[in-house]
Amino acid sequence: MFFHGTSTVNEKGHLQIGGMDTVALAKKFGTPLYVYDVALIKERARGFRKTFEELNIKAQVAYASKAFSSIAMFQLVEEEGLSLDVVSGGELYTAIAAGFPVERIHFHGNNKSPYEIEMALKAGIGCFVVDNFYELSLLEDICRNLNTKTQILIRVTPGIEAHTHDYILTGQEDSKFGFDLQSGQADEAIKLINTFEYVELLGIHSHIGSQIFETKGFVMAAEKLFEKMKTWKEELSYTPKVVNLGGGFGIRYTAEDDPIPVSQYVVEIVEAVKKKVEELDMQMPEIWIEPGRSLVGDAGTTLYTVGSQKHVPNVRKYVAVDGGMSDNIRPALYEAKYEAILANRVNDINEETVSIAGKCCESGDMLIWDIELPKASADDILAVFCTGAYGYSMANNYNRIPRPAVIFAEDGKAELVVKRETYEDLIKLDVPLKQVLNQK
């Protein structure tokens, strides 16, 4: 069994996270319940920052908030001195509501609306990561109307696609994101920005993928960017002050995953950049990164209550829990794999292989196929590990299942940071037919 962060077994044989008995948490707050190990989030955040500091590199570590966004999470990110990457007006609104310093927010997205751009400018956004020509012109126009200047990075696609373990170098990058490097789109963008009055080009951005276990892809991307930067310096007299290499650092979901420590990604990225800077006789830029999953993924655990079971003789046994694809769509969407234990009987030996089913009306609503567990019965608490990234943030109301509550656990204290959705919440936005209303 593999425990992440502060997770341990207490004297009752219960799973404990952040010094809190998870069985007691399930009883108090109900299930499904996301429980975050705050100490582990802090450890990861400090790991990234400290490594840059030790290397004496000017850097920004921006939390990719799409992994899990809430007011409390943003406050924690702010306390840890990180910056924030948002991709929508909704994430930005949450950050502002959390009191996050807006100048440390980077606004991403491949189709920002004029409303979102204006909202960000009025709030004093730190920078935009501009994705395409339409957005460039839109941004310059809106800035002119508001008579305000802004700083941007341009997102470029370096022609490297990471498929977790291997990398594909594509001549013509087929991606909906960013300015293509090969075909000269990025060069055209720089020339266009040079003619602008309100938009200043601070640097470049690239993100090659997610759940990546090796440093090779990042190093390859950095090398390609710097080769291009050499041309920009010579031909356009432009040198980026900031190079943002995105996120994507992999985590351990199951025994099949073997990630390297976060510090190693940073060290190897910095080494590659330094080497290129020397080789091409350039100035060392600031290095920014955007980890999402690696900051919160293994810090999150979902607690479920076991309900019905179905045994198909000689085929398999289904054990159903009170959540499923409504709180974790990743198995259905990506065939993502997870590990789990019975949180109220951690020391019991595994007796059978079962598959964990969700409660949604959909055959594909399976959380885990073929997992070894003790013989589970109704009311046992199942803890699924590593649900901290893209769990709550991708949760949905399929079958009108309310979204779970979220708890932050640390040092023997538990704080409710997102309330459980109620049935009233579910119908809050519904508008009854006028006809029906009038009849009443």
Counting contacts by CB under 6 A, is residue 208 touching ligand LLP?
no
Residue 421 CA to residue 80 CA, distance in Å, equals 29
What is the CA 188 to chain-centroid distance, rounded? 31
Minimum CB separation from ligand LLP for residue 349, in Å?
A: 32
Query: By C-beta, is 209 or 381 nearer to ligand LLP?
Result: 209
Stretch that binds ligand LLP, among 231-239, 242-250, 338-346, 415-423 (CB under 6 A): 242-250
Quote the least distance from Cβ 59 to ligand LLP, whole Å.
Answer: 15
Q: Smallest Cα–Cα separation from 112: which of 94, 135, 93?
A: 135
Selected binder of ligand LLP within 89, 126, 247, 331 (CB under 6 A): 247
The answer to whether 291 is a known ligand-binding residue is: yes
Measured from the Cβ of residue 241, the count of other Cβ atoms closer than 10 Å reads 15
Q: Write the DSSP string, 275-324.
A: HHHHHTT-PPPEEEE--SHHHHGGGEEEEEEEEEEEEETTTEEEEEES-S
390 touches ligand LLP (CB under 6 A): yes
Report the residue from 107, 179, 249, 304 that binds ligand LLP according to the rule CB under 6 A. Answer: 249
Among 159, 246, 388, 402, binds ligand LLP (CB under 6 A): 246
When asked if residue 294 is in the footprint of ligand LLP (CB under 6 A), the reply is yes
Query: Distances from the Cα of 196 to the Cαs of 2, 27, 137, 146, in angstroms?
Result: 54, 59, 9, 15
Instruction: Tell whether 292 is in a known binding site.
Output: yes
Q: Which is nearer to ligand LLP, 305 or 326 (CB)?
A: 326
User: Which range, of 92-100, 226-234, 235-243, 286-294, touches ligand LLP by CB under 6 A?
Assistant: 286-294
Contact assessment for residue 218 and residue 265, using Cβ atoms and an 8 Å cutoff: yes
Size of the site for ligand LLP (CB under 6 A): 20
Q: What angle do CA 6, 8, 14 make, to 5 degrees?
A: 135
* CA separation, residue 280 to residues 241, 260, 277, 286, 414 (Å): 15, 29, 5, 16, 52
Q: Per rule CB under 6 A, is residue 26 in the interface with ligand LLP?
A: no
Within 65-124, the residues that bind ligand LLP by CB under 6 A are 67, 85, 108
Cis peptide before 32 (omega within 30 of 0): yes
CA distance 359 to 324: 6
293 binds ligand LLP (CB under 6 A): yes
With CB under 6 A as the contact rule, the residue among 89, 291, 300, 358 that binds ligand LLP is 291
Contact status: 299 vs ligand LLP (CB under 6 A): no
**CB of 131 or CB of 322, closer to ligand LLP:** 131
Residue span binding ligand LLP (CB under 6 A) among the ranges 204-212, 221-229, 313-321, 421-429: 204-212
Please name the helix (run of DSSP H) or strand (run of DSSP E) that holds residue 167, with its range, or none: strand 166-169
- Report the candidate in 143, 98, 137, 111 with the shortest Cα–Cα distance to residue 124: 143
Name the catalytic one among 127, 360, 361, 386. Answer: 361
Contacts of 401 (CB under 8 A, 6+ apart): 323, 324, 326, 327, 359, 360
Residue 411 CB, nearest distance to ligand LLP (Å)? 27
Min CB(11)–ligand LLP separation in Å? 36
Q: Is 127 designated active site?
A: no
**Nearer Cβ to ligand LLP (134/334):** 334
Question: Residue 157 Cβ, how far from ligand LLP at the closest point, in Å?
Answer: 11
Nearer to ligand LLP, 98 or 153 (CB): 153
Integer Cα distance of 249 and 262 in angstroms: 7
As measured in angstroms, the least distance from the Cβ of 309 to ligand LLP is 28
Closest CA to 297 of 257, 258, 248, 251: 251
Calpha distance 160→162 (Å, rounded): 6
Output phi, psi for 295, to 5 deg.
-90, -35
Nearer to ligand LLP, 17 or 389 (CB): 389
290 binds ligand LLP (CB under 6 A): yes
Q: How crowded is residue 178: how many other Cβ atoms within 10 Å of its Cβ?
A: 24
Residue 290 assigned to a binding site: yes
Neighbours of 62 (CB within 10 A): 26
* Residue 359 interacting with ligand LLP (CB under 6 A): no
Task: Residue 83: name the closest of 105, 58, 51, 59 by CA.
Answer: 105
CB of 303 to ligand LLP, least distance (A): 20
83, 185, 210, 215: residue in contact with ligand LLP (rule CB under 6 A): 210
Q: Say if residue 134 carries a ligand binding annotation.
A: no
Site residues (vs ligand LLP, CB under 6 A): 64, 67, 85, 108, 207, 210-211, 246-249, 290-294, 330, 334, 389-390
Task: List residues forming the annotated binding site.
Answer: 248, 290-293, 330, 334, 362, 390
